[in-house]
Protein backbone atom coordinates (compact mmCIF):
# COMPACT_ATOMS: atom_id res chain seq x y z
CA UNK A 1 0.00 0.00 0.00
CA UNK A 2 1.46 3.36 -0.99
CA UNK A 3 1.43 6.40 1.25
CA UNK A 4 -1.41 7.83 -0.87
CA UNK A 5 -3.51 4.68 -0.32
CA UNK A 6 -3.02 4.62 3.46
CA UNK A 7 -6.07 5.55 5.53
CA UNK A 8 -5.90 9.07 6.86
CA UNK A 9 -5.45 9.57 10.59
CA UNK A 10 -6.44 13.22 10.24
CA UNK A 11 -10.01 14.15 11.16
CA UNK A 12 -12.37 15.27 8.40
CA UNK A 13 -12.70 19.09 8.05
CA UNK A 14 -16.03 19.25 9.90
CA UNK A 15 -14.72 17.07 12.74
CA UNK A 16 -11.55 19.17 12.82
CA UNK A 17 -13.64 22.34 13.17
CA UNK A 18 -15.70 20.79 15.95
CA UNK A 19 -12.70 19.39 17.80
CA UNK A 20 -10.44 22.39 17.58
CA UNK A 21 -12.73 25.39 17.67
CA UNK A 22 -16.14 24.45 19.01
CA UNK A 23 -15.02 22.16 21.84
CA UNK A 24 -12.51 24.63 23.34
CA UNK A 25 -15.09 27.42 23.05
CA UNK A 26 -17.25 25.43 25.48
CA UNK A 27 -14.90 26.42 28.32
CA UNK A 28 -15.36 30.22 28.24
CA UNK A 29 -19.09 29.83 27.55
CA UNK A 30 -19.31 27.79 30.75
CA UNK A 31 -17.62 30.61 32.64
CA UNK A 32 -20.24 32.99 31.28
CA UNK A 33 -23.03 30.64 32.36
CA UNK A 34 -21.61 30.52 35.88
CA UNK A 35 -21.10 34.28 36.02
CA UNK A 36 -24.66 35.07 34.92
CA UNK A 37 -26.42 32.32 36.89
CA UNK A 38 -27.29 32.68 40.57
CA UNK A 39 -24.41 31.81 42.87
CA UNK A 40 -24.48 30.19 46.29
CA UNK A 41 -20.80 30.06 47.19
CA UNK A 42 -19.88 26.52 48.17
CA UNK A 43 -23.53 25.55 47.73
CA UNK A 44 -24.02 27.09 51.17
CA UNK A 45 -21.15 25.15 52.74
CA UNK A 46 -17.95 27.11 53.32
CA UNK A 47 -15.70 23.98 53.23
CA UNK A 48 -16.83 23.42 49.62
CA UNK A 49 -15.46 26.86 48.73
CA UNK A 50 -12.05 25.83 50.06
CA UNK A 51 -12.23 22.38 48.47
CA UNK A 52 -13.24 23.95 45.17
CA UNK A 53 -10.38 26.42 45.38
CA UNK A 54 -7.89 23.58 46.03
CA UNK A 55 -9.32 21.41 43.23
CA UNK A 56 -9.33 24.39 40.86
CA UNK A 57 -5.71 25.30 41.63
CA UNK A 58 -4.64 21.68 41.26
CA UNK A 59 -6.51 21.54 37.95
CA UNK A 60 -4.78 24.65 36.63
CA UNK A 61 -1.41 23.20 37.71
CA UNK A 62 -2.15 19.87 35.94
CA UNK A 63 -3.31 21.80 32.86
CA UNK A 64 -0.14 23.93 32.72
CA UNK A 65 2.27 21.07 33.48
CA UNK A 66 0.49 18.96 30.84
CA UNK A 67 1.00 21.71 28.27
CA UNK A 68 4.65 22.13 29.29
CA UNK A 69 5.21 18.37 29.07
CA UNK A 70 4.15 18.43 25.42
CA UNK A 71 7.01 20.79 24.58
CA UNK A 72 7.26 21.21 20.82
CA UNK A 73 4.32 18.86 20.31
CA UNK A 74 1.95 21.45 21.80
CA UNK A 75 -0.30 22.66 18.98
CA UNK A 76 -3.80 23.97 18.50
CA UNK A 77 -4.52 21.38 15.83
CA UNK A 78 -3.75 17.70 16.51
CA UNK A 79 -0.99 16.09 14.50
CA UNK A 80 1.68 14.59 16.72
CA UNK A 81 5.13 14.05 15.28
CA UNK A 82 6.13 11.75 18.13
CA UNK A 83 4.58 10.08 21.16
CA UNK A 84 5.09 12.17 24.30
CA UNK A 85 5.76 10.02 27.38
CA UNK A 86 7.44 12.52 29.69
CA UNK A 87 6.07 14.65 32.49
CA UNK A 88 2.48 13.94 33.42
CA UNK A 89 2.13 11.88 30.25
CA UNK A 90 4.01 9.11 32.09
CA UNK A 91 0.89 8.66 34.23
CA UNK A 92 -2.10 10.03 32.31
CA UNK A 93 -2.83 10.25 28.58
CA UNK A 94 -4.86 13.47 28.71
CA UNK A 95 -3.57 15.71 31.51
CA UNK A 96 -4.71 18.88 29.76
CA UNK A 97 -8.33 17.71 29.54
CA UNK A 98 -8.12 16.40 33.09
CA UNK A 99 -6.72 19.72 34.33
CA UNK A 100 -9.36 21.77 32.51
CA UNK A 101 -12.10 19.57 33.97
CA UNK A 102 -10.65 19.84 37.48
CA UNK A 103 -10.33 23.64 37.18
CA UNK A 104 -13.92 23.88 35.98
CA UNK A 105 -15.15 21.64 38.82
CA UNK A 106 -13.23 23.72 41.34
CA UNK A 107 -14.85 26.89 40.06
CA UNK A 108 -18.29 25.26 40.15
CA UNK A 109 -17.75 24.32 43.80
CA UNK A 110 -16.36 27.73 44.76
CA UNK A 111 -19.23 29.60 43.16
CA UNK A 112 -21.85 27.06 44.13
CA UNK A 113 -23.26 27.20 40.63
CA UNK A 114 -25.88 24.57 39.88
CA UNK A 115 -25.96 25.77 36.28
CA UNK A 116 -22.19 25.46 36.13
CA UNK A 117 -22.38 21.91 37.47
CA UNK A 118 -25.01 21.02 34.87
CA UNK A 119 -22.83 22.59 32.16
CA UNK A 120 -19.80 20.62 33.36
CA UNK A 121 -21.70 17.33 33.37
CA UNK A 122 -23.64 17.91 30.13
CA UNK A 123 -20.96 19.53 27.96
CA UNK A 124 -17.44 19.90 29.31
CA UNK A 125 -16.85 16.33 30.50
CA UNK A 126 -18.58 14.55 27.58
CA UNK A 127 -16.86 16.73 24.96
CA UNK A 128 -13.45 16.24 26.61
CA UNK A 129 -14.08 12.49 26.66
CA UNK A 130 -15.15 12.42 22.99
CA UNK A 131 -12.20 14.53 21.91
CA UNK A 132 -9.82 12.30 23.90
CA UNK A 133 -11.22 9.15 22.27
CA UNK A 134 -10.89 10.63 18.76
CA UNK A 135 -7.31 11.68 19.48
CA UNK A 136 -6.56 8.19 20.80
CA UNK A 137 -7.91 6.63 17.62
CA UNK A 138 -5.61 8.85 15.53
CA UNK A 139 -2.63 8.13 17.81
CA UNK A 140 -3.30 4.39 17.61
CA UNK A 141 -3.34 4.59 13.81
CA UNK A 142 -0.18 6.70 13.72
CA UNK A 143 1.97 5.01 16.38
CA UNK A 144 0.53 1.46 16.55
CA UNK A 145 2.23 -0.85 19.07
CA UNK A 146 4.16 1.98 20.74
CA UNK A 147 0.90 3.75 21.48
CA UNK A 148 -0.84 0.59 22.72
CA UNK A 149 2.04 -0.17 25.08
CA UNK A 150 2.02 3.38 26.50
CA UNK A 151 -1.79 3.35 26.71
CA UNK A 152 -1.74 0.13 28.74
CA UNK A 153 0.52 1.80 31.32
CA UNK A 154 -1.40 5.08 31.75
CA UNK A 155 -4.78 6.28 32.97
CA UNK A 156 -7.32 8.31 30.92
Q: Supply the pTM of this predicted model.
A: 0.78
Q: Which of 46-55, 59-68, 72-81, 115-124 has the lowest mean pLDDT?
A: 72-81
Average pLDDT for the chain = 83
By the 8 A CB rule, do 23 and 134 touch? no
User: For residues 87 and 22, what is the distance between their CA atoms, to the nearest angstrom?
Assistant: 28
pLDDT in tens, 85-107: 889 999 999 999 999 999 999 99
pLDDT band for position 149 (cuts 50, 70, 90): very high
Domain ranges within the chain, ordered by starting residue: 41-73+81-151
Give which of 89, 100, 104, 101 is closest to 155, Cα–Cα.
Answer: 89
pLDDT in tens, 19-60: 666 767 778 888 888 878 777 888 889 999 999 999 999 999
Residue 18 has pLDDT above 70, yes or no: no
User: For residues 151 and 133, what is the distance between their CA atoms, to the nearest angstrom?
Assistant: 12
Amino acid sequence: MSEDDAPSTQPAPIKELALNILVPSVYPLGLLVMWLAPMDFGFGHRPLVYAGFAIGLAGVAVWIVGMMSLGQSLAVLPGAKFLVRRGLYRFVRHPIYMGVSMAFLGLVLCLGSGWGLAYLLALVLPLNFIRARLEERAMRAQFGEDYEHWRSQTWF
